[in-house]
Amino acid sequence: MSLIKITTKGRYALRMMVDLAEQETRNYISLKDVAGRQDISKKYLEQIVPALTQAGLLTTERGPLGGYRLARSPDQITAGDILRVTEGSFTHVTCVDVPGSCERSSECPTISIWQGLSDVVEKYLDGITLRDIVDRQKESYSNSWII
């Protein structure tokens, strides 16, 4: 049983943002380069970019030296920030996500369980920054010995 299903859109958005964070540059990076490194369709990424830009997570520049870059430092963007843009709410039941949607919510014995679950997921995802992911990736590379 799966309570939360992160879509391809969410997974790809997170990978794209991690890729940009890994570049550690203030230069703009082409979507073609990101798509190539991540083995993701450029057209698919083009569908994700507007939402991330509108949410203030990406900045864009047109032209030959244009492309995309993080709008903030990698330690200021969390997995939660990105997934909220692509997936919406982290709640699992409508009565928690839309207050007043259930006439029984005021006396429901289980609503606190669903709220607690949403709080745990949100706290976890908001506790992981792009910097954390990049650092973990670098650490895993440095711990692999090739002879």
- Does residue 22 sit within a domain? yes
- Does residue 122 sit within a domain? no
- Does residue 94 sit within a domain? no
pLDDT of 144 over the 70 cut: no
pLDDT given at position 1: 41
pLDDT given at position 3: 54
User: 63: domain CATH number?
Assistant: 1.10.10.10
Nearest CA-CA partner of 132 in 91, 82, 93: 82
Q: d(Cα 79, Cα 133) in Å, to the nearest integer?
A: 9
- Boundaries of domain holding 63: 8-88+129-139
The H or E element containing residue 145 is none
Is the Cβ–Cβ distance between 16 and 48 less than 8 Å?
A: yes
Name the amino acid, one letter, at 85.
Answer: V
- State how many domains the chain has: 1
pLDDT given at position 69: 95
pLDDT of 2 over the 50 cut: no
Q: Give the lowest-confidence range in 9-23, 74-88, 94-108.
A: 94-108
pLDDT of 30 over the 60 cut: yes
pLDDT given at position 140: 73
- Does residue 64 sit within a domain? yes
- Does residue 60 sit within a domain? yes
Share of the chain above pLDDT 70, in %: 90
Cα-flanking dihedrals φ and ψ of residue 67, to 5°? 150, -140
- Does residue 114 sit within a domain? no
- Does residue 44 sit within a domain? yes
Q: d(Cα 48, Cα 64) in Å, to the nearest integer?
A: 21
- Does residue 1 sit within a domain? no
Q: d(Cα 29, Cα 119) in Å, to the nearest integer?
A: 35
Q: What is the pTM of this model?
A: 0.85
Residue 123 CB neighbours (<10 A):
11
